[in-house]
Structure formats: structure tokens, C-alpha cells
Chain A
């Protein structure tokens, strides 16, 4: 076992290194979920996003001043490999659409929904549930504003897990603490589901 993961949850390394997780969107949710999954020892990530890093992203997303102007997928790939050089990463620079998402994420063990807009969250979650009914999807909804930590929850039904308060809207502003908390709730759910599946 790699020394890097010697303090991981016992017996997790050999399972997680064989796992592939897809992440649709590399903004506040996606970049922070990816970072946590890399630190946990997930073996492969497929990351997709159409944007470049802007200075307004730096208040909550896992990017740095010298990333500005780079594509998010390339910048994130660099950071993830700095955490774990053995991580396998497939990047897709471009929009995730109804036409391409099944192909982009066809071999994943779990899909992370990390879009900005609610209507996009809906088509991805429901499209995935219809077309990949045995593969879990974990989404984020309601991570805006400040405070209300006790409102953050995990709701599950079948293959769908949704993290967040399901109420706050990005018109309240998006700032690091709540965004990163929800992202890490999602990463925690992903890892937990994988390890539970392995035991059952």
C-alpha cells in the first residue's frame, strides 16, 4: 500500500484504487469533490467542464492565482496529480450535454453532479436515473449563503443521493465554507457507498 494512504480508513486503499468516479462540472462542487476523492485514494477520475478559471472562482473553487486563464480541467488535473501522482485522470474540456454525458461517463462507478444551474442538475440526475439505473449519482443542491450548517442534509432514494439544504439559492452568494462543506459531504457519501458496496 502506498505510504500516502497509510492513515486512511482501514482496508479502503485496495478498494478505492480500482474505482472510477465521474465529475460533471469542475466549479465549487466539482473541484472540491475531486480534491477530496484524490486524497482518499480513488484510482481514476473523469472530469468535465467547459470553463476557464476566473478570478471570481477563487473564493470557493480549488484553483489558485496562477490558474487564471487556464481551462478548469487542465488546472484541476495539475492539482490532483500534485496530491496523488498515481491518480488516473481523463479530462473533457467542453460542455456536458444531454447528447454526450452517457458516453463521457460510460464506465464510472459513481457520477457526481456538480452543475451550477438547477435545470441542468435536473436533466442530468433524471437522465442518469433513466439510462444508468444501477449506477449511483450524487448531486448537490442548496449550498449558498452562510450559516445554517444544521440545515445541510443528505437525502437518498435508490441510486440518488442529494447533499445540501435544498433551499438556499446562489442569488444569496456563494462562499467557501458552505460550498466546500457540501462538496465534502458528497465526497464522503461517494467513498462510503463504495466501501459499503464492497462489504455487502
Chain B
């Protein structure tokens, strides 16, 4: 089981990538920052970074305005 944004629980599966997590959670935002267990995962690694079981995944959506 992994936890997304300290709230949502997602069944873990072997070789689950960050991209799989985002797809499962239905994230459609184009500009996001993702961490797994408090470490940054860069865009180019979303398809290859394997999320370990019991991981804490955080997805931050970046919106215009400041």
C-alpha cells in the first residue's frame, strides 16, 4: 500500500512507477512537482522511477499567480 498526499491509499504493485501512480490518481495537471519519501522525482524519471511499497508520494500542483 502506498499513500498519496498523506490522504489517499493506493494498492502497491511490483514495478509500479511514478507515472502509474499519477495515472491511478487521475492527475491531469501539466505542472507538478512529485516527491517519493520526501525526495524529488524529476519529470524525466516518472516512467522509470519505481515506487517502493509503503512509500509516501506527494504531488504538488503549481498554479500561476504570485
Interface residues of A (CB under 8 A from B): 25, 27-30, 114-119, 121-122, 125-126, 129-130, 139-144, 155, 157-160, 162, 164-171, 174, 179
Contacts and interface: CB of A to CB of B under 8 A. Distances in A.
A180 B34 CA distance: 26
B42 A144 contact: no
Interface stretch (B14-22, B46-54, B57-65): B57-65
Interface residues of B, number: 17
Interface string B25-66: 000000101010011101000000000000010101111111
Contacts of A125: 33, 60, 62
A27 B66 CA distance: 6
B5 interface: yes
Contacts, number: 91
Residue among A29, A116, A155 facing the most chain B CB atoms (10 A cut-off): A155
A116 B64 contact: yes
Contacts of B5: 155
A158 B64 contact: no
Interface of B: 5, 31, 33, 35, 38-40, 42, 56, 58, 60-66
17 contacts: A27-B66, A116-B66, A122-B33, A125-B60, A126-B33, A126-B40, A130-B40, A130-B42, A140-B65, A141-B61, A143-B65, A144-B63, A144-B65, A157-B35, A157-B38, A166-B61, A171-B64
Given A126-B42, A129-B40, A160 B65 contact: no
A160 B60 contact: yes
Given A121-B62, A141-B60, A166-B61, 12 more contacts: A28-B66, A118-B63, A121-B66, A125-B62, A126-B33, A130-B42, A139-B60, A140-B65, A141-B61, A157-B60, A160-B33, A162-B33
Given A157-B38, A158-B35, A160-B35, A122 B62 contact: yes
